Homo-oligomer: A and B are copies of this chain.
Amino acid sequence: MAAGKTNIAQSLEALLPGRVSMAEAVLRQHANTLTWIASELPDVVVWPETEAEVQAVVRLAAESGVPVVAFGAGTSLEGHVNAARGGISLDLSHMNRILAVHAEDLDAEVEAGVTREMLNQFLRDTGLFFAVDPGAGQATIGGMAATRASGTNTIRYGTMRDNVLSVTAVMADGSLVSTGERARKSAAGYDLTRLLVGSEGTLGIITRLRVRLHAVPPSVVAAVAPFETLEGAARAVIEAIQLGLSLARIELLDELMIGAVNRHAQLSLSETPTLFLEFHGTEGATRDATDTFAEIAGRHGGRGFEWAAREEDRRRLWRARHDAFWAVREAWPGMDVIVTDACVPISRLADCILETEADFRDCGITAPIVGHVGDGNFHAIAIADCSDARQLATVKGLAERLARRAIGMGGTSTGEHGIGEGKLGLLDLELGAGAEIMRRIKQALDPKGILNPGKIGSPRGSDA
């Protein structure tokens, strides 16, 4: 197929002169990087700068039957950007214009390649911010929408599902579809916005998004709350949520994770299960919430608090939390890091984490845990040497048992990292006939199967 690849590259070069590459290093950089899943390289990478160019590339791909894999920042964790059948990696990073900020309406329109940090930097003096904050600051808003990303403040501000008002996308036939405009709510037919959000580039390539912004709250108070036991921390979370406290963030780090974070961020937190909290609201609301939470924590083995009201201290705290992945990589140098992603009803969270901890311990695999516990979502981050086939098999077994455990508890195998290649096999397990509905939708909207093949909606057994 070398000749075929060269032909495609030549045709692309005619469309996007100087913005096409077949260099090995570039191809490698556009395949999967952050997981145990083996990289599968595209044949060629292109950098469109306009929607019309994205359309032209997709039309060319459709005519030639060549796959197209949309690429944002490449920070996904389940092999989403792997080119399972080669083809074109369509890199959206040049489409990074902030098209409009409507301060009165608390929304913005951005191209898909705008990163969340770029947007928040741009909004700095407006009193507004874009809320969704996955670990990767350089994640693009298009990529975050495509994977239905969330972050540490989902409990208050929601996931990408809630923060995308509408999108514009190039469909498999090259047509451009807009799923709506800037209304806060709409009952105008099927929810195409939510269908594209989380579709991982398999139904359309998101090129533009209208997103919600939020007002920076008048009062923000953060705190670190160590607990005697993980169960105590989980109980405190449940009680706080039931009381409707104005929680903006409530993150659990187990003792192993606190240790890694201490070393990475030069902190000296006591190495015990700990909640990182943040309250947003008016002065009155945050004062009430922090007082109430202190009482709740006291009832569940909380060992007092360390408040961080100064913005500088808060930033340091959340930087440390966001860097958890890198802290783990640093704490176990030379080892591979496999991030799991279960989400369960909050009443089952302590059970799910404790059973998972025990399973990892029994298998001799170290796995610090960090969780968006207000959502019932947590990540056990397995430390292993993936070049050792036995270790890799052990970790895969642990990950699959965790997924089954979460599903068995009324939860899901993935709260926020998505399906990619890594969890394709679990979709039928989790959703049964629902997975077949997904394949039918994929077939209807991308009959040639050119958009990110081998991922959600692919014919059963074709690539998994």
Stretch at the interface among A6-14, A16-24, A196-204, A309-317: A196-204
* List of B residues within 8 angstroms of A430 by Cβ: 180, 188
Q: Does A461 contact B (CB under 8 A)?
A: no
A345 adjacent to B438 (CB under 8 Å): no
Contact B191 A187 (CB under 8 A): no
B427, A188: Cβ atoms under 8 Å? yes
The reply on A411 being an interface residue by CB < 8 A is yes
Knowing A105-B347, A177-B433, A285-B288 are in contact, say whether A188-B376 is a contact too (CB < 8 A). no
A184 within 8 A of B: yes
Q: How far is the CB of A192 from chain B (nearest CB, A)?
A: 5
Judge whether B188 and A413 touch: CB under 8 Å.
yes
The reply to whether A215 and B243 form a contact with Cβ atoms under 8 Å apart is: yes
Asked if A137 is an interface residue, CB under 8 A from chain B, the answer is no
Name, among A105, A406, A407, A441, the residue most crowded by chain B CB atoms within 10 Å (CB to CB).
A105
How distant is the Cα of A456 from the Cα of B190 in the complex, in angstroms? 8
Contact check: which of B102, B412, B414, B457 meets A347 at CB < 8 Å? Answer: B102
Looking at A199, A345, A437, the one whose CB has the most chain B CB atoms below 10 A away is A437
Q: Which of A66-109 contact B (CB under 8 A)?
A: 102-107
Cβ of A171 under 8 Å from chain B: yes
Residue-wise interface mask of A (197-233) relative to B, using a CB-CB cutoff of 8 A (1 in contact, 0 not) = 1110001000000000011111000000000000000
Interface flag for A330 (CB, 8 Å): no
Number of copies: 2
**A445 within 8 A of partner (CB):** yes
A115 at interface by CB-CB < 8 Å:
no
CA distance A69 to B62 in the complex (A): 38
CA distance A184 to B416 in the complex (A): 11
CA distance A376 to B182 in the complex (A): 10
**Which residues of B sit under 8 angstroms from A177, Cβ to Cβ?**
431-434, 437
**A142 proximal to B (CB < 8 A):** no
Q: Point out the residues of chain B lying under 8 angstroms from A283, CB to CB.
A: 284, 288
B189 with A438: CB separation less than 8 A: yes
Q: Does A56 contact B (CB under 8 A)?
A: no
Q: Among the listed stretches A117-125, A147-155, A300-308, A379-387, which one makes contact with chain B, having 4 or more residues with CB under 8 Å of it?
A: A147-155
Bound-state Cα–Cα, A150 to B407, Å: 30
CB contacts (< 8 Å) of A106 on chain B: these are 241-242
- Contact call B242/A183, Cβ cutoff below 8 A: no
Question: Is there contact, CB below 8 Å, between A187 and B148?
Answer: yes
Instruction: Give chain B nearest CB distance to A267 CB in angstroms.
Output: 28
- Is the C-beta of A26 less than 8 angstroms from some C-beta in chain B? no
A370 at interface by CB-CB < 8 Å: no
Chain A to chain B contacts (Cβ below 8 Å), 18 pairs: A102-B345, A105-B346, A147-B187, A161-B185, A171-B437, A177-B432, A177-B433, A179-B434, A183-B344, A183-B376, A183-B415, A186-B412, A187-B198, A188-B430, A189-B198, A191-B194, A246-B281, A282-B292
Starting from the known contacts A161-B185, A191-B191, 20 additional A-B residue pairs (CB-CB under 8 Å) come to A105-B347, A150-B185, A177-B432, A177-B437, A178-B433, A180-B430, A181-B410, A183-B377, A184-B343, A184-B345, A184-B375, A187-B419, A188-B413, A188-B423, A188-B431, A189-B457, A190-B441, A244-B281, A246-B282, A284-B285
